[in-house]
Amino acid sequence: MTPVATLLAVLALGQFDPYVRSRVTPGDDATQCLYWTVPSITWSQSTLGNPDTQGDTEFDAVRVSFQNWEDIFAACGNLNLQEGPRIAERNVGYVRNGDNHNVVLFRTKVCSAVVAGSDACWKEETCANQYDCWDDDQGTLAITLTTYDKRSGIIYDSDISFNASQYAFTTSNGPTCFPPVTTNCVSTDVQNTATHEIGHFVGLDHTRAAGSTMNPSAQTGEVSKRIIDSGSRDFVCSVYARGAPSQACLHPVVNEELGPKGGGCSATGASSLGPALMAWVLWRRRRAREARS
């Protein structure tokens, strides 16, 4: 079997399972799963919100999405998802020895429209933070960028970005609608998108199981992912079981003393003790790409 065929076979395994855990190498069972080990995670929304969403309803929609996951953790899990105050943060990713937040924000500009093609940020993959813009392709609705230790899979930071530069995010119920009409109807639903992204936030990858919140596709007007499916619920109850430590996929786990946010780490290769960045990419209308590093 060729390397490409082997990779495709690996990625196909488990794609219809009730839930699939995110791994250091997506779809590779020989690599560690990603998971939190702290008892409580504070997340915050950027104060800017989404100017194109009616009123401040996007904040409530994101809050409800987190609360629905929190309700499951409260029933059977060992993790508390706690909302912090809104913050003026517009950067995502992990900063070594910095003040890191788990932030949720909406990008309202496309980088290609505001950043010169010769700018070094393209090569360095820093345009999004430098210019507060969306630098992924137009078929992506949102990205969850997770920082984790490559050897243990332990998560230290996770941020969610919405592509409000190219999609009209709505918070209403009602019929499906398309821009420029986005009032009292559903175009790209904030809660539908956020609920899926929070699944990535806590360590879930995509599955094509019918009715799953973690299904990698979404149609305009879809709201079904607002309700967390039983498979994703089972993930919480088994991986983050109440009264037990969070479950790794491979043992023994190398648990380094990295500080509360992984301070002192570096991201220098597969054998590094430091964190590596991986963006779990949600819902492409074109070619699916599960992650980038």
What local confidence, expressed as pLDDT, does residue 97 receive? 82
CA-based radius of gyration for the chain: 18
Contact of 10 with 27, CB cutoff 8 Å: yes
> How far is 42 from 15, CA to CA, in rounded Å?
30
What local confidence, expressed as pLDDT, does residue 27 receive? 85
Judge residue 88's burial from the number of C-beta atoms within 10 Å of its C-beta, 0-12 exposed, 13-18 middle, 19 or more buried.
Answer: exposed
Beta bridge partners of 134: 110
> How far is 135 from 132, CA to CA, in rounded Å?
9
Dihedral sign for Cα atoms in the order 272, 274, 280, 281:
negative
Domains and CATH numbers, the chain: 28-292 (3.40.390.10)
What local confidence, expressed as pLDDT, does residue 254 receive? 55
The one-letter amino acid code at 110 reads V
Tokens describing residue 280: 């779990």
pLDDT in 10s for each residue of the chain, 293 residues: 344 443 344 445 568 999 999 999 988 999 999 999 999 999 999 999 999 998 999 999 999 999 999 999 999 999 999 999 999 999 999 988 888 999 999 999 999 999 999 999 999 999 999 999 999 888 899 999 999 998 899 999 999 999 999 999 999 999 999 999 999 999 999 999 999 999 999 999 999 999 999 999 899 999 999 999 999 999 999 999 999 999 999 986 654 433 322 222 222 222 222 333 333 333 322 222 223 22
Contact of 63 with 22, CB cutoff 8 Å: no
> How far is 77 from 75, CA to CA, in rounded Å?
6
What local confidence, expressed as pLDDT, does residue 7 receive? 37
- What is the rounded end-to-end Cα distance, in angstroms, of the chain? 26
